[in-house]
Amino acid sequence: DKEFFTFETAGNILNGYIVKPRNFDSTRRYPVIMSQYSGPGSQQVLNRWTMDWEDYFANEGYIVVCVDGRGTGGRGTAFRTSVYKQLGTYETADQVAAARYAGNLPYTDSSKIGIYGWSYGGYESIMCAQSSECPYAAAVSVAPVTDWRYYDTVYAERYMLTPGQNESGYQKSSAISGALHLSCPLLVIYGTEDDNVHPANALQYVSTLQSAGMLCDMFVFPNMNHSINGCNARQVVYAKMLDYFDKNLK
């Protein structure tokens, strides 16, 4: 079951929920997996019942935490539009604050916090892993945008204007521009036939790391699109995530 909570950061009250392992023991300190999407207008923290991969992680001995940061929906216009022309800034600050909140709970281990996300969430996982205040021991990024100049203009320009109109915003929001600040183990997953986020996003990011003699991990799904579904692929995605978190958080 989800347990809902709120906390304050940077003058904003953020909503979140926690999923605890089966046979939860309040005297133990559990590793934490942060689940998020973070995209403009989205909302993950909802009072509804679901059975999803978060429960899979919880059943494997993790505390799962999800927080909707600034830019997400359901909180009014000012909250949603605060990320305008600067994607990846406030979302990252709020996810880092959420990780620190989670790490201060009496039943969590603050040295064993991971984060993952898909698509915009994958972008945000990388941005968090590159944060100067990175509190994570591992990050997993699935099908990530790594530079808004590489994404659909109908989406990117809605929030960022054109590169010519907002050059500094595009530069600051680029995961590629900040790649050399990566400060925790990172796993990048993508499908070679991604029909939404072009594989060049992942490849250019990894190439940037390699050119600087830096390492990350990569797991590729041949002939799979953005959803990486069918032929048992979705199960493999989350099994690989769990394996990565087990190696870095346990």
Tell me how far CA of residue 112 lies from CA of 34, 56, 70, 232, in angstroms: 11, 18, 25, 29
Catalytic annotation present for 119: yes
Catalytic annotation present for 198: no
> 80, 72 in Cβ contact below 8 A?
yes
Active-site residue identified among 119, 131, 141, 174: 119
Catalytic annotation present for 194: yes
Dump strand ranges (E) for the chain.
Answer: 2-9, 12-19, 30-35, 63-68, 108-118, 138-142, 186-191, 217-221
Closest to 103 in 3D by CA, of 192, 208, 32: 32
Active-site residue identified among 55, 109, 198, 226: 226
Which helix (H) or strand (E) segment holds residue 92: the answer is helix 90-103
What residues act catalytically? 119, 194, 226
